[in-house]
Amino acid sequence: MTIMKRGSTYHLRKRVPRRYEGVEERKSIWVSLHTDSLTVAQQKAPIAWQHIVEGWEARLAGDTSDAEKRFEAAKNLAAVRGFRYLPVARVAEMPRKELVQRMEAVIGKDGEPDLREAAALLGGVSEPPITVTRALELYWGLVADKTLGKSPDQLRRWENPRKKAVKNFVDVVGDKAIGDITGDDMLDFRQWWFERIQSEDLTPNSGNKDLIHLGDVLKTVNRMKRLGLVLPLSDLSFKEGEAQQRPPFSESWIRDKLLAPGALDGLNKEARCILLAMVNTGARPSELAALTSDQIRLGAATPHISIEPVGRQLKTRNARRVIPLTGVSLKAMAQCPDGFPKYRTSSASLSATVNKYLRANRLLETPGHSLYGLRHSFEDRMLAAGIDERIRRDLFGHALDRERYGKGASLADLQRLIQRVAL
């Protein structure tokens, strides 16, 4: 890069790199730095060169056959030239002075208009339509902040419902441009779900989840890409029935069935230890599966586990907590002091494995029971023992409906209270 003085003004002189020969006819360029100060010129030269390169890159991108890339290139090139990209109809409505500025900016050194720059500054590149499947591709990048800290398993479980909703919609309606989606399209999708709910004995919530996730994808892309579309997404949800509660295991069932000698011998060691750890901690299966050796503190004065955001997000901010280990839960964790590598990245397979085993061995108290019922059973036993609500909510990682004052009960105090209900 050479800085030379022409008359009283310093200029930047540099040979055009081979990469840009297809979009720049000149072999070398001279650019005025608009100063007679060498110090100022030296400061301005790198910035001026950067702007020139950005312009060349935008013009290169405009050569692509991809409509979306061409449009982005046109917007970038307009920005490099100091203008905001506007569609041709908007450009035509501009005040005469602003329109003339744009027209003058596309004139090249030879006095002829540069076609790429004319398209960018005068709105000659049409914005390509975004289809529903393309909207999903864009969605992942637009909501990247929501996935920070998620483990691979959490990310998969977060992404899959959105993928499923989009696939279902495309199967029913087609991969339409989102601007072309009509109210009738959404009613057709809703009707498809209504027929599934009836014929497959599904809950209304199954259809509502698809409607919610599809709506989230479309609304996010519409807002973040500033498309300004009016999407027909309101008044589509199905009326929810009474929420199905996961029934707790009775204390007698846990004692006589689940904890009977040999009852769980057919389960693999890690799944068995997680099940038993739930009995006296009430921790979520996914929380236990994610524990590392650093979070399993068997050698502490009060043996306990620490639920922390290690390699994963916690369900809520209140989920970070410590839980003393007692009874069968302490014995189980002593067998797995290093955690559960088999399920650390796939807690969904844990629940499926345990529930399948319990069902096959007639260890479910009713058909509606599942592994998660152990968490509810633990709370029922604490409630029956008169343990304070603050204590229960702290142990379960639940929010408190009032201000939390003080640090709460110590580990030793929590251990003493849990031992009253431990199995």
Q: pLDDT > 70: what percent of the chain?
A: 82
Distance separating alpha carbons of residues 169 and 185, to the nearest angstrom: 9
CA distance 6 to 32: 9
Q: Could you tell me how far CA 282 lies from the centroid of its own chain?
A: 27
pLDDT value for 66: 52
| From 115-124, 144-153, 281-290, the region with the lowest mean pLDDT | 115-124
In this predicted structure, what is the pLDDT of residue 76? 66
**369-405 confidence digits (pLDDT tens):** 888 899 899 999 989 888 888 888 888 877 766 655 5
- How many percent of the chain have pLDDT more than 90? 29
User: Are residues 322 and 304 in contact, defined by beta-carbon separation less than 8 angstroms?
Assistant: yes
Q: Per residue in 235-261, pLDDT tens?
A: 998 887 644 567 899 999 999 999 999
Q: What is the pLDDT of residue 410?
A: 86
Angle of the 327-335 helix axis to the 269-279 helix axis, nearest 10:
150
Greater pLDDT, 97 or 244 = 97
Q: How far apart are CA 377 and CA 102, in angstroms?
A: 71
Confidence of residue 17 (pLDDT cuts 50, 70, 90): confident
- For the record, the structure tokens of 302 come out as 């009060």
Average pLDDT, the chain: 82
pLDDT tens per residue across span 280-335:
998 888 889 889 899 999 999 999 999 888 777 677 777 888 899 999 999 999 99
Say whether pLDDT at 168 is over 60: yes
Q: What is the pLDDT of residue 118?
A: 64
Confidence of residue 220 (pLDDT cuts 50, 70, 90): very high
Mean pLDDT score, 326-345 = 91
Cβ atoms 317, 149 nearer than 8 A: no
Higher pLDDT, 337 or 108: 337
- pLDDT tens sequence across 21-68: 776 767 887 777 778 888 888 887 887 777 777 666 666 655 545 555
Q: pTM of the full predicted structure?
A: 0.54
SS3 sequence of the chain: CEEEEECCEEEEEEECCHHHCCCCCCCEEEEECCCCCHHHHHHHHHHHHHHHHHHHHHHHHCCCCCHHHHHHHHHHHHHHCCCCCCCHHHHHCCCHHHHHHHHHHCECCCCCECHHHHHHHCCCCCCCCCEHHHHHHHHHHHCHHHHCCCCHHHHHHHHHHHHHHHHHHHHHHCCCEHHHCCHHHHHHHHHHHHHHHHHCCCCHHHHHHHHHHHHHHHHHHHHHCCCCCCCCCCCCCCCCCCCCCCCCCCHHHHHHHHCCCCCCCCCCHHHHHHHHHHHCCCCCHHHHHCCEHHHEECCCCCCEEEECCCCCCCCCHHHCEEEECCHHHHHHHHHCCCECCCCCCCHHHHHHHHHHHHHHCCCCCCCCCCCCHHHHHHHHHHHHCCCCHHHHHHHHCCCCCCCCCCCCCCHHHHHHHHHCCCC
Residue 160: per-residue pLDDT: 92
Q: What pLDDT sits at residue 404?
A: 57
Instruction: Check pLDDT > 90 for residue 203.
Output: no
